[in-house]
Chains A and B, each alone.
Chain A
Amino acid sequence: MIPMLKRILRTGIVSEPPPAALAAEQREVARLGEEILRILGRALTIRQVDAGSCNGCELEIHALNNPYTNLEGYGIKFVASPRHADMLLVTGPVTKNMEHALKVAWDCTPDPKLVVAVGDCGSCGGVFGESYASCGAVEKVIPVDVRVPGCPPTPVALLQGILAAVRR
């Protein structure tokens, strides 16, 4: 217990003193988070759906929950069920094998719902495109509000995309 407390004290709040070169990125994250909170005036709940990604995009979505970005601190929460979600954050090209499941998740999400398509794959099919096994972009399967290109998009780009969607 003692070493753990020491560690916590020494680390402090990591979002505070970012290394100089990365300070700009840090400030941008904070600004975006606050703006999302301001526009919504309440918590935003997100259901992430991987509809066929290479898992690279998931790595960056995970990074949104690290102590630097600390999305939860701005009231942005990832939830387990689409029924509790305001927004679907969808990665992939949508595989044919996930087409049905994605439609069901979309149907289960209460209106008004926002859909953000993540990554080059989610936005336009990326390197996988459309094929016998892939429907391509998310918008080929469900309506999309905002696309966040990038392979994978950085955490800052993801936040910008989420912000663009709540602005709508």
Chain B
Amino acid sequence: MRFFGEPIEFEKQAGIGSPAWRGRADDGEALQAFAVAVHRNGGRLAALWGEDRRKGGEGFRLHVAFGLDMGHAWLGLDLPAAHPAYPDLAGIFPAANRMQRATRDLVGIATDGGDQRPWLRHGAWPADWFPLRHDAGGGRDFTNRPSDYDFVQVGGEGAHEIPVGPIHAGIIEPGHFRFSVIGERLLRLEQRLGYQHKGVEKLFIGMNPADGARLVGRISGDSTCAYAWAYASAVEAACGISPPPRGLLLRALMLERERVANHLGDLGALGNDAALAFGFSQFMRLKEDWLRLNGKIFGHRFMMDRIVPGGTALDLEAPALAAIVEQGDAVGREVKELKKIYDEHAGLQDRFLTTGTIDADLARELSLSGVAARATGLILDARVHRQGYTPPAPWAMLGVRPATDERGDVAARAAVRFAEIFESLRLLRELAVGLPDSELRVEVPPVPGGSGLGVIEGWRGEVLVGVAFDDDGKLARVHPHDPSWQAWPALEHAVMKDIVPDFPLINKSFNLSYSGADL
């Protein structure tokens, strides 16, 4: 199969997961030409990562996953061990910038031009040492040096800089924000991230698939189900197995419960940042009820380690399913009332409307996915039918209705969350009453040398995991990709022309993961 008339041959990945086609680019030029074709046809850059394959006598491999209308195109480009360089894709897809820099920091394969500033490497290891190379050693003895970073300078009369972080005021992950302002007005925001980098990708190397599942569920704790499922799906594609129906539907049930929990929390926090403490306490109460039921029926408030390769690690009995339906009905009624209050609250709407705006063109340009993309009007949701795309099981049969809003501001991101809560509650009811009888999981046979890609629509956006096994059936490479990679730069755009005091609200309306993208 070919895309857009480009000469690269693709083959569909096995299994019932999200549709993905894999192909190989002969050289950098072919990769570049394909990227241009994807861009011209409205596609996205989904993820980019590197792999050291020198152990098997090869060189390095660059992996690039593109989001197309019909699914994902997963392209490999082999690079010689002696000179592993490839063309800079950031001119085509700006989202490539940080991914390419991270790939250089970790694997030591670099673009032949463009931004060469380090991204994940601050001062903990030297520039000529690459943690994901198989001959790198542990790297624990380096001196941790303080590092400078080349922020882009903004000139002009009256302009000055406000540096914030890495430790922020509040209970929030660390990162550094450099604001350039005139008076109260924000001219520019530049982020420096990587503070949460804890070497996750190196830890995966040599693990067995079950341990990998535990680790992947801790890439971004708020999205543990999405990661566990995307990883499981990648492993299953590599092994040529499919989870049994009951296991599959239980996964969907957990994913939707994760979505509702996070959306409830975000809507509360948005109310709080707009000085509506009432909204905060109401939503936090609902969220706490939600988590407590999780604790009771899943044995874990965030459902960590319940989704595993092959299926799920737990079953739900009839009383638990009834409790889910009952709670869903109650929460639905309350959220409906709260939505009315939010919609009619003049002070709140005044803060939400036209604040932190991005439009659909920018969202497309930045390869954005998830809530923030749908809040510009894009119908982009791996669970939802769109022209040319049939979602994987079990979404196809559930007929998921997309939530979109064209305003692109804080109000739109709040509105999308409200709509998604209602849709998730509908899905939860259908899943809970229609759970088929079957096994929960199947055995995962070792597949030396196999590889697969998994894509799941998490509550924040598209969570993608690439997996490759070594010759002993252990994990050779796992690359988890958080939607925050693409959304952080969107936040930089969204704050422009707003005022400094609006930043916390705009930031909250995206609610991005630091850990997920810092790895």
List the interface of chain A (C-beta within 8 A of B): 3-4, 7-8, 11, 14, 21-22, 25, 48-63, 65-69, 78, 80-81, 92-93, 95-101, 105, 126-134, 151-152, 154
Are B196 and A131 closer than 8 Å at their CB atoms?
no
- A152: chain B residues at CB < 8 Å are 221, 302
In the assembled complex, the CB of B340 is this many whole angstroms from the nearest CB of chain A, namely 6
- Say whether, besides A3-B337, A50-B174, A133 and B167 are in contact (CB < 8 Å): no
* Docked complex Cα distance between A132 and B487 (Å): 27
* Docked complex Cα distance between A58 and B515 (Å): 12
Within 29-61 of B, Cβ neighbours of A (below 8 Å) are at none
- Say whether, besides A105-B167, A127-B215, A133-B197, A56 and B265 are in contact (CB < 8 Å): no
Residue from A51, A54, A95 within 8 A of B221 (CB atoms): A54
- B218: chain A residues at CB < 8 Å are 54, 56, 126-128, 151
Are A132 and B199 closer than 8 Å at their CB atoms?
yes
Are A50 and B173 closer than 8 Å at their CB atoms?
yes
Residue from B144, B173, B340 within 8 A of A58 (CB atoms): B173
Closest to A94 in B: B198
Within 93-146 of B, Cβ neighbours of A (below 8 Å) are at 122, 124-125, 131, 138-140, 142, 144, 146
Are B166 and A133 closer than 8 Å at their CB atoms?
no
Q: Which 9 A-B pairs have the closest CB atoms?
A: A56-B221, A132-B139, A133-B199, A96-B124, A80-B169, A66-B284, A54-B221, A131-B199, A54-B218
In the assembled complex, the CB of B102 is this many whole angstroms from the nearest CB of chain A, namely 12
Are A132 and B515 closer than 8 Å at their CB atoms?
no
Are A133 and B171 closer than 8 Å at their CB atoms?
no
Q: Does B364 contact A (CB under 8 A)?
A: no
- A66: chain B residues at CB < 8 Å are 281, 284-285, 287-288
Of B138, B194, B198, B296, most buried by chain A (CB within 10 Å of CB) is: B198
Residue from A48, A65, A128 within 8 A of B198 (CB atoms): A128
* Docked complex Cα distance between A131 and B218 (Å): 16
Q: Does B389 contact A (CB under 8 A)?
A: no
- A68: chain B residues at CB < 8 Å are 285, 288
In the assembled complex, the CB of A105 is this many whole angstroms from the nearest CB of chain B, namely 6
- A95: chain B residues at CB < 8 Å are 195-198
Closest to B139 in A: A132
List the interface of chain B (C-beta within 8 A of A): 122, 124-125, 131, 138-140, 142, 144, 146, 166-167, 169-174, 194-200, 202-203, 214-215, 218-222, 224, 265, 278, 281-282, 284-285, 287-288, 291-292, 295-296, 301-302, 304, 337-338, 340-341, 344-345, 513-515
* Docked complex Cα distance between A7 and B279 (Å): 10
* Docked complex Cα distance between A16 and B296 (Å): 20
Closest to B305 in A: A151
- A132: chain B residues at CB < 8 Å are 124-125, 131, 138-140, 142, 199, 202
* Docked complex Cα distance between A12 and B371 (Å): 33
In the assembled complex, the CB of B269 is this many whole angstroms from the nearest CB of chain A, namely 9
* Docked complex Cα distance between A53 and B175 (Å): 12
* Docked complex Cα distance between A100 and B172 (Å): 18
* Docked complex Cα distance between A62 and B144 (Å): 31
* Docked complex Cα distance between A98 and B341 (Å): 41
Are A50 and B199 closer than 8 Å at their CB atoms?
no
* Docked complex Cα distance between A65 and B288 (Å): 10
* Docked complex Cα distance between A105 and B138 (Å): 28
Are A133 and B131 closer than 8 Å at their CB atoms?
yes
In the assembled complex, the CB of B29 is this many whole angstroms from the nearest CB of chain A, namely 35
Are B219 and A54 closer than 8 Å at their CB atoms?
yes
Residue from B124, B285, B345 within 8 A of A97 (CB atoms): B124
- A126: chain B residues at CB < 8 Å are 218
- Say whether, besides A59-B221, A67-B284, A50 and B172 are in contact (CB < 8 Å): yes
Known: A58-B173, A97-B124, A132-B131. 5 other contacts (CB 8 A): A4-B278, A58-B221, A67-B288, A98-B196, A132-B202
- A53: chain B residues at CB < 8 Å are 173, 196, 221, 515
Are B203 and A55 closer than 8 Å at their CB atoms?
no
Closest to B345 in A: A4
* Docked complex Cα distance between A99 and B195 (Å): 9
- Say whether, besides A56-B304, A66-B287, A98-B174, A131 and B265 are in contact (CB < 8 Å): no
- A129: chain B residues at CB < 8 Å are 203
In the assembled complex, the CB of B194 is this many whole angstroms from the nearest CB of chain A, namely 6
Of A54, A55, A62, A65, most buried by chain B (CB within 10 Å of CB) is: A54
Are B138 and A96 closer than 8 Å at their CB atoms?
no
- A59: chain B residues at CB < 8 Å are 221-222, 265, 302
- A62: chain B residues at CB < 8 Å are 171, 265, 284
- Say whether, besides A7-B282, A50-B174, A98-B174, A127 and B214 are in contact (CB < 8 Å): yes
In the assembled complex, the CB of B336 is this many whole angstroms from the nearest CB of chain A, namely 11
- A7: chain B residues at CB < 8 Å are 278, 282, 337-338, 341
19 A-B pairs with C-beta separation under 8 A = A3-B340, A50-B174, A50-B196, A54-B515, A55-B513, A55-B514, A56-B304, A57-B221, A61-B171, A63-B291, A66-B281, A66-B284, A66-B287, A67-B288, A95-B197, A127-B218, A128-B203, A131-B198, A131-B203
